[in-house]
Each structure stands twice: as structure tokens, then as C-alpha cells.
A and B are shown apart, each in its own frame.
Chain A
């Protein structure tokens, strides 16, 4: 690969040449469309959301005029137990899905990393779940997990084997995965894990393929076992890919909407943060209160980003 374009540092103001000034002007001009889009589509709405959170704006206003209410919405938010439940549920969901996706994704990546015939096809097969719209996948899984007509229950109850005279069933009887509060989180996590593990596996696979083979050869000559090679070579060199994968997956999980909306709708104790926010704004029409919820969600996600950046910075020292 040829040399990467590394622009020289810009000399102090007085000594900037006409070319450099021209470059600066042109550069900002080229960036103008992108910055305009970002300003209109992200910065302005975010500012408006923050402003709205201090008002009592209703959607079907008409009769009650919108007025400033200060911290009233935030006060109500603090006592909102349903929102609190949504936060806790979303955090649990994030922990479960990111954990499973990471472990499973790593295993799959390691398996697919070894060269074998049909590796390209395998990679393509793994991308199939990712290509399906999430809400469509959720509808499919909703039916597959149905307690009466679902294929998961059917397969589970059919698979049985006898070992040492004991009869084992994979599933003793049909289970209402989505309806039962004790398995609802598991069912919604299963869908997300199905959809995103291949994606995680591919990201980790890309990281694995960057590690040169000579390192492994040298290690096996030195007598290191496969496990030792994994711990000493693979994991440390995979670190950048792992960190990036983890943070992107964590943020995606915190923002989950589609699967929760399709499986549970408005069921109490089964709403993610995004589902609750959408309900408050679009269904109940409380634009002001919903804006406060939005700001809270934004802060929670930013907290994770800050934690991640700090962790990366600290561990690099």
C-alpha cells in the first residue's frame, strides 16, 4: 500500500500561504452540505427536545396553551416507576444480549477463521439474518415462539432421547415464551441474539484475519498449547476489534425498539426505554413529558460512552 496521505501541520496564521487559505475555504465549503444536514437533522432537534422538556406541550394542544413549566416534567420523571422499570429492563437486555453475542460471535469467528472450502459462502450465510428488517424478523419469531402453533415448542417437545434408561425431553411441554413474564426477557433476547450474532462474528472475524499466522507458528514451535495461544496471542491482538464491537453493540442494545414493540406492545414491565418514550409522545401525546424522557435516555447513553472512552484511555496507559 502506498504512503498514506499525512498532511503537514498548518503553520501559524501569519505564515499561511494563499494555497493554504484557499484549501481552508474550499474545505469548509465542501463540508457545508454535511454540516447543514447535521445541524438541521440532529443539532436543532436535540436543542428543541431539550427546550420542549421544560414545557407542558401536548400534541392535541388546541385548548391548553403551551407554557414553560421548568423542572416539573423532570420531577414527575423522577417518580415515574414505569420508566424506571423500562431502564432496568433495557439494561438487563443489554447485558444479556451483548454478553451472549460476544461469546457466541467469538466462537463462530474462530471457527470460520480457519480456511476451508466454502468459507466465502459461510460468511454470506451468516449475513442473512442481518439483512432481514428487524421488525419483520420479530414478527417471524413471534410466530415461531407461539405457545400453541409455534415451531420452537414443537421441535423442543419432539426432541427426546434415552440415556442409560432415562428419558430426556428437550422441552417437557409447550411453553408460552412471550406471554410468561419469567421468560419474556429470554424470548426477546433470543431474537436479538439470532439477528446480531452473525454481525458481531463478522466484525471479530475481520479483526482475527489481521493477526499474522507466523505468530501462531512460532508459538506452537515454542510448545504453547492452543489455549495458551488463544490467551496470549489472539485476545490481546484482537483487543481493538473487541472494544469497538462491544461499544457499538452496547449502544445499539440500549436503543432497542423494534423487537420490544412487536412482542410486547405496551405491556407493563416489558417496555424498553425507546418503546416507553415513543408511547409517551406519539400515543399519549405528551410532547413535553416525552421530551424529558428523551433527554434522560440521551444522558444514559452518553454515560455509557463516557465510561467506555475512560476505560479505553485508562487501559492504554
Chain B
């Protein structure tokens, strides 16, 4: 609409009283107040439990169960962090989780980008079938195949001399099973990134005599780098946070991943019956702080990836 039409329209219709009030200096401040109040409420709502975990992690055990509840301890202590980090089991769990989540991410990105290359840049029949197969995998209920995976991982005979290895209680059981939810999503998002690139991009490279794999590696992959970062981060976080498969397929405490270790924490001293809340909260902070930092720094990437997968899909 042209500005001339706008100004004429404004001049013809009188400005309503409420609009005049709102535009006055006092009105401007007053309408901002509820808005910022709402922002504050949302921020508190999102962050309070995290603050609570932090305050509990620095509260000494003798005051943890004090009533009335203390919102900040009178004698803060680092003892819980010390306990959590000196617990070899917890450190082992951090290592296990890193290995599992890292492997899942790398595998998903590798397999996913190759598949996205095929699905996004090639033409062949059956392509949409594969795409829809991947989409349907995202609705797969993980619980439904828990029993089958359980027996699979105990090792079974495939054919002749080929045996499926006994993966139970190893990180590879998790790497394998986490692909169920990381791979389809990765393929879906990376395919949409691949599709968004100009159609004739590869032609120049083909003319120069490049093979398809060289085109993939040198031309396309760098261009979808933002997509790789996004899906990589999302895959890492979902693998890191997963609990159901981890608690079902792992049994030795030294193989636990972080979510299982935190829930079954008994601390380095104390009875099997005791649950050390302070130390658990400290462990929680240690575990979630890097994730939160990564989220803060990469929040735009995460958003782009989520919307590419969900909204455009």
C-alpha cells in the first residue's frame, strides 16, 4: 500500500481514544510493563528448576532437608561437586555418553549426508518411497521393538558362520539402536538442505571431470555445512539424553551412560539405600551446563534445523 494512500486513510479516520492514550508517553511505558512482566514470567518459568538444582548442589547435606526451605544456603559448599567429579563411576559415565553420542552423531551425519545426496540431487524411481519411509521412521515408538532388540543384542545366529555379535551391555548396543531416531531426522533435514541448493551446481564440476563422490565432498558438503552443524547437534543431544534403551540394554555400572548413572547414583560412600540428592544435583549441573552453553551459542542453528525438518516437511 502506498504511503500516499496510507496518510490519506489516516487523515480521513479519526484516531480512537485508546490509540491516543496508548501513544502518549505514559501509555507507552504502561503497555510495555505487562509485556516485560510476561517476559519475566516466561524466563523464570523456564529457568527456576535449573536454579533450584544449582542451589541444591551448593547446599551442604545437613541443610538440604531443612524446613523452611532455604532459597540460598547460608554456608554454600563445593563438596557435592567434588564428590560428583571424584566419583569414578560418574566420570566413566561421562566418557561413555561422549563415546555413544559422538559415534551416533558421526555415523548419522556420514550415512545421512550420503543418503541426502542421493535423495536431493539425483533422479530415480522409488525416491519418494524412501523419503516417506524415513518420515515414517520418525513416528516409530521405540518401546515397540525393545523386546526384539533385547534378544537381538544377546547375539543370534544369522546364516552359516555369520553370527550377530553379542552387543548387550556394550556402548555399541546403544549406538546401533539410537540410529532409529537420529538417522531418519538427519536424512530428512539434510535432504531439504540439499534440495535448496541451485540445480546446476554440479554441472560445472562434472565438466571439469570430477566424479560424483568428489562433487559430494568438495562442492556440496561445504555448502550444507550449517545443516550438518544443526543435525549433528540435535543428534548429539537426543543421544545424550536418551534413557529407555540405556536403562534396558546396559547392566554393569561401569558401562552406564549419564542419564542412567545419575538416576542410580549412590555416591562414593554411603549405603545402597541412600540417595545423595546434593551430589546428584551437582552431577546434573555438570552434565547440563555444557549442553546449555552449546544451546545458547547455537540457538539460531537449532531453530533453523528444527523448522527445516518440521515446518517445511
Interface residues of A (CB under 8 A from B): 1-8, 10, 20, 23-24, 26-28, 30-31, 33-35, 37-38, 40-42, 44-46, 48-49, 52, 57, 108, 111-112, 114, 116, 120, 122-137, 139-141, 143-144, 148-151, 154, 194, 198, 202-203, 205-207, 210, 214, 217-218, 221, 223, 240-241, 244-245, 248, 251, 254-255, 257-258, 261-262, 273-274, 277-278, 281-282, 287, 290-291, 294-295, 297-298, 301-302, 305
Nearest 7 A-B pairs (CB), nearest first? A45-B148, A7-B123, A30-B118, A133-B241, A45-B145, A206-B307, A24-B124
Q: Number of contacts between A and B (CB, 8 Å)? A: 288
A-chain residues with CB within 8 Å of residue B127 when the two chains form the complex:
27
A-chain residues with CB within 8 Å of residue B6 when the two chains form the complex:
221
| Bound CA span A42–B303, Å | 28
Distance (whole angstroms) from the CB of B53 to the closest CB of chain A: 5
Given contacts A5-B199, A125-B43, A134-B243, contact A52 B147 (CB under 8 A): yes
| Bound CA span A103–B184, Å | 29
B-chain residues with CB within 8 Å of residue A10 when the two chains form the complex:
123-125
Distance (whole angstroms) from the CB of B100 to the closest CB of chain A: 13
A-chain residues with CB within 8 Å of residue B292 when the two chains form the complex:
128, 131-132
Q: Give the residue of A20, A129, A290 whose beta carbon is less than 8 angstroms from that of B123.
A: A20
Q: In chain B, what residue has the closest Cβ to A280?
A: B147
| Bound CA span A205–B299, Å | 13
Q: Is the CB of B311 within 8 A of A206?
A: yes
B-chain residues with CB within 8 Å of residue A198 when the two chains form the complex:
46
Give the size category of B's interface with A: 35 or more
Interface residues of B (CB under 8 A from A): 1, 6, 9, 13, 35, 38-39, 42-43, 45-47, 49-50, 52-53, 56, 64-65, 67-69, 71, 110-112, 114-115, 117-127, 130, 133-134, 137-152, 176-177, 179-180, 183-184, 187, 194-199, 212, 237, 240-241, 243-244, 248, 258-259, 262-263, 277, 280-281, 284, 287-288, 291-292, 294-296, 299-300, 302-303, 306-307, 310-311, 313
Given contacts A30-B118, A48-B148, contact A194 B49 (CB under 8 A): yes
Q: Is the CB of A42 within 8 A of B180?
A: yes
